[in-house]
Amino acid sequence: MAKKKEQSKERRIIIKGARQHNLKNLSFEIPRNKLVVFTGVSGSGKSSLVFDTIYAEGQRRYVESLSSYARQFLERMNKPDVDLITGISPAVAIEQKTGSRNPRSTVGTTTEIYDYLRLFYARVGKTICFRCEKEVKKASTETVTKWIEEQKEGTKFYLTFPIHDHPEQSVEDEINLLKKRGFFRIYFDGKLIDLNEKEVIPSNKNEIRVVVERFKSSKSEIREKLADSIEVTFKEGENRLVIVNAENGSEQEFNKYYECCGIRYEEPEPRFFSFNNPFGACPVCQGFSKTIGIDMNLVIPNPDLTIIDGAIAPFRTARFSVHLRDLVRYSKNHGIPINVPVKNLTASQMDLIRKGFNGFIGIDKFFEELEKKTYKMHIRVLLSRYRGYTTCSACKGSRLRREALQVKINSHSIYDIVKLPIEKSLEFFSHLELSEFDQLVGGKVLEEIIKRLNFLNNVGIGYLTLDRLSSTLSGGETQRINLATSLGSALVGTLYVLDEPSIGLHPRDNAKLIDILKNLRDIGNSVLVVEHDPEMMKSSDIIVDMGPKAGPDGGEIVAMGSISDIIKSSNSLTGKYLSGKLEIPLPKHRNERKTKTIKIAGARENNLKNISVEIPLNKFVVITGVSGSGKSTLVHDVLYAGIAKYLGLSPSYIGKYDEVKGGEYLDHIEIVDQSPIGKSPRSNPISYIKAFELIRELYASTHHARSRGYKAGYFSFNVPGGRCETCQGDGFIKIEMQFLADLYLECEECDGTRFKKEIREITYRGKNLVEVLNMTVLEAISFFEGNDKIVNLLKLLADVGLGYIKLGQPSNTLSGGEAQRIKLASHLTAQREKRHTLFIFDEPTTGLHFDDISKLLNCFNLLLERNNSIIIIEHNLEVIKCADYIIDLGPEAGEKGGEVIASGTPEEIVNCENSWTGKYLKPYLEKSKKTIK
């Protein structure tokens, strides 16, 4: 009986006395090998429990098993504030992280698939000669004898080597040298010549073949007879050997060098295919795929214009209009039509315009001449208007040196593979047949490639290409790549901890993700998920609902059990939303009045199918569609880039489109994304919204501070004065651990407070600055009551659902969703003046509970009331149903997407049969309307 009890305990994760951050001394048990969802309002303690307690303890125990060098640091590492955790497995965490901005980071490198591809191409790839397009082979004694055995039985051959070409020596000198080395026969001009006899000496050294042995081809004993002679021939011929057919004079050359048609190639090795290594990277762009030069998209911004109408932008100016006149005058002689849109000109006609002709300078030469005058300021300014990143002309965007692209598998170079959508790459490798030798050297690598591609396809990103830049991915795509990278190994007996894996997934794609997590559970893993998605909750084994509120009012388990248990619980806010007792209401009136619009024409970036779309201003517009349908491309690369360019801003990338109109109606455009608000631990939420300045001034104005002569700067940890100089205001000391991630240990000088002891002695209302920075936003609002400037700024953080975060929380510890909402709060602060700003949000509901979404929608309404426009990319149906206008892209992902499926109000979208969004939105809309009735 006791044994049974012990076994049941082993099958459970037992937590006792968890007090990390705002947790209220929690003690509970959850079964192992189950899918457990932790939910609750933002700041209720979900991440504190799952990541900072359970995962942190699992990680700490893992590091304890490492060497003594690593363990010497552990005594100083803080353990999670918990009395006991048992039954915990080695843990893997997948947290919310924004994508890499490194221009070298791609989907292939992030997922490590590209490393396997490099290894596979190095082992299995065949180098194809530039000239003859045959496989380049490195010869050996084995390959030579094998070739001889394949020839017709009894054929006469000469085993020869080419004479060495020493320019300083005459043919006579070379012949005499051969005689001294014991070679007395040469083959020249179809004849065998005996050097002992006085015959005509050939004048062309390159055509001389020195005969080592004469033989007849045979199927047997040829290896034993010729092996030594072949080795001698290779040695004397400096690794080159030629077999001459004595009957017809034909030659078969063998080379121990990796060489063909006089071109010596590099033998493939993994670094040969790396664009991050100088050995493999394109020498022109250094592996970036783009170079800075004259961007023809800027020179001819509107290809719909004709030459006579001024399609070539620099020639429109009075100063350079002479070149336009020259082009018009002489164009007829060269067959260039001047009344046809530039986009309809042939490649050869455009080539003439670029290179010029008699009487016309040409665009390229025009800019070359300007480059010579860059000592003049106005010329530098002019050139900057037309400079941009263009695809590298040498490698055509492949990032690799030319020779690396000649290594192929089934006629596909490594660049051909990374250009394919993942689902197509998977198909290619799944049907790839290897020879016996290739299977031996590359079979295991191929299995790993297929496994990882399969996993990426299963998490719903099969439409992406492996060469897609990480910086161009949406938040959801980045999260699922992180998921695929971590889960691809499919470990068993592991604790997987995930932070909102459904981010960026359309409701239609959610089922695949849930199946993957269930599969992980079924093969023997414990899966803990912090999630707000109702479908994920319905599919879980257990739900742990945290609350009841955020910050100090949270940190408790208000309900725990199956979904029916949560719905029945009177204490569970989540249960009330799941049951329909509470819901996010539909707006009383949608803004259906006619407003000015942004008009996009001919958008064709990435997978967009030359679409044209009209987006109303002064409204709450939601862009929807299945994952990978082109939402981020349309909004970021086309809409934002086009408007930003019109407003004189410098977008990092401009996608392909014909025109974007409507910029004249806007004063500003702002992307409120999930990138960090600061990378330094000294940056915090209140410094971002400018409240910290007011708090520092408040402390500097106290009697105690004035008597010591402390100015506001003394209360900053960014400048010397009051900050701790040991850690320079970070509160932590960085320890570099070589084979592990760097450790950040609490500063012993200031105990992690960041300030000197004398600064901590200054108080306001009985609290020093360190204590104030440890307050939550809601606590600080009460503390600073009466100080309206500070309170009003802090209330904005509470309004966007961040009442639970601490004032001094380092920015680098904030999630992407929290960073985005802090930016929103700062814009609400700045939006006192009347400027028409277009705000763009990418999945602003990330990390938000149903209850927090209501607060977010109120903030959006506040921005709209101040004469602004809002466009968001969103999958959350609770938000979509509240939109004034929806633009739905699809119908599928990748190549099968990129079209406008439907546009209009939510009521119009649900009536569109082809809209996936409409199908999933319909029940939400009907349910909300019944509630109103």
Grade residue 262 by pLDDT with cuts at 50, 70 and 90.
Answer: confident
pLDDT tens figures, 798-851? 988 888 889 998 887 787 778 888 999 998 887 555 789 999 998 898 888 998
Quote the CATH superfamily of domain 2-99+475-579. P-loop containing nucleotide triphosphate hydrolases (3.40.50.300)
Which class for 387: exposed (0-12), middle (13-18), buried (19 or more C-beta within 10 A)? Answer: middle
Amino acid type, 739 = F
400: closest CA among 297, 294, 266, 296? 266
Which class for 335: exposed (0-12), middle (13-18), buried (19 or more C-beta within 10 A)? Answer: exposed
Interatomic CA distance for residues 808 and 795, integer angstroms: 16
CATH T-level assignment (fold) for domain 597-676+818-932: Rossmann fold (3.40.50)
Average pLDDT, integer, range 626-651:
90
Least confident window among 46-55, 99-108, 752-761, 840-849: 99-108
Interatomic CA distance for residues 233 and 211, integer angstroms: 9
Residue 5 has a pLDDT of 47
Residue 78 has a pLDDT of 64
Q: How far is CA 120 from CA 276, 391, 481, in A?
A: 18, 27, 22
pLDDT tens figures, 673-715? 877 888 777 889 999 999 999 999 999 999 999 999 999 999 9
pLDDT tens figures, 402-411? 999 999 999 9
> Which tokens go with 419?
């250009």
Which helix (DSSP H) or strand (DSSP E) does residue 925 occupy?
helix 916-932
Interatomic CA distance for residues 869 and 668, integer angstroms: 10
pLDDT tens figures, 438-451? 999 999 999 999 99
Phi/psi region, residue 310 (left: phi>0; alpha: psi -120 to 50; beta: rest), is left
Cβ distance 629 to 898 under 8 Å?
yes
Name the one residue in this structure whose structure tokens are 């046809």. Answer: 340
Q: Give every CB contact of residue 510 below 8 A, 6+ residues apart in sequence.
A: 502, 533, 535, 536
CATH T-level assignment (fold) for domain 290-391: Helicase, Ruva Protein; domain 3 (1.10.8)
Q: Name the percent of the chain lying above pLDDT 90.
A: 55
- Pairwise pLDDT comparison (82 vs 302), residue with the higher score: 82
- Pairwise pLDDT comparison (102 vs 569), residue with the higher score: 569
pLDDT tens figures, 709-718? 999 999 998 8
Average pLDDT, integer, range 852-879:
92
Cβ distance 675 to 471 under 8 Å?
no
Res. 33: pLDDT tops 80: yes
Grade residue 903 by pLDDT with cuts at 50, 70 and 90.
Answer: very high
Residue 890 has a pLDDT of 92
**Are 139-256 and 290-391 the same fold in CATH?**
no
Beta-bridge mates of residue 670: 839
Q: Name the percent of the chain lying above pLDDT 70.
A: 93
Q: Over the chain, what is the mean pLDDT?
A: 88
- Please give the class, per CATH, of domain 107-126+400-472: mainly alpha
- Pairwise pLDDT comparison (196 vs 35), residue with the higher score: 35
Grade residue 929 by pLDDT with cuts at 50, 70 and 90.
Answer: low
Res. 59: pLDDT tops 60: yes
> Which tokens go with 402?
């030319």
Q: What angle do CA 141, 146, 149 make, to 5 degrees?
A: 130
Residue 506 has a pLDDT of 87
Res. 455: pLDDT tops 50: yes
Residue 75 has a pLDDT of 47
The architecture (CATH level 2) of 685-811 comes to Up-down Bundle (1.20)
Note the pTM of the prediction, 2 decimals.
Answer: 0.75
Grade residue 6 by pLDDT with cuts at 50, 70 and 90.
Answer: very low
Residue 2 has a pLDDT of 47
End-to-end CA distance of the chain: 58
Q: How far is CA 206 from CA 181, 189, 203, 236, in A?
A: 19, 11, 9, 15
Residue extents of the structural domains in the chain: 2-99+475-579, 107-126+400-472, 139-256, 290-391, 597-676+818-932, 685-811
Grade residue 931 by pLDDT with cuts at 50, 70 and 90.
Answer: low
Amino acid type, 384 = S
> Which tokens go with 799?
């309004």
Q: How far is CA 176 from CA 113, 162, 209, 841, in A?
A: 58, 15, 15, 83
- Please give the class, per CATH, of domain 139-256: alpha beta
Half-sphere exposure of 78 (CA within 13 A, CB side): 15
Residue 815 has a pLDDT of 74
Residue 225 has a pLDDT of 77
Cβ distance 21 to 50 under 8 Å?
no
Residue 758 has a pLDDT of 94
Query: Residue 444 CB: number of other CB atoms within 10 A?
Result: 13
Grade residue 224 by pLDDT with cuts at 50, 70 and 90.
Answer: confident
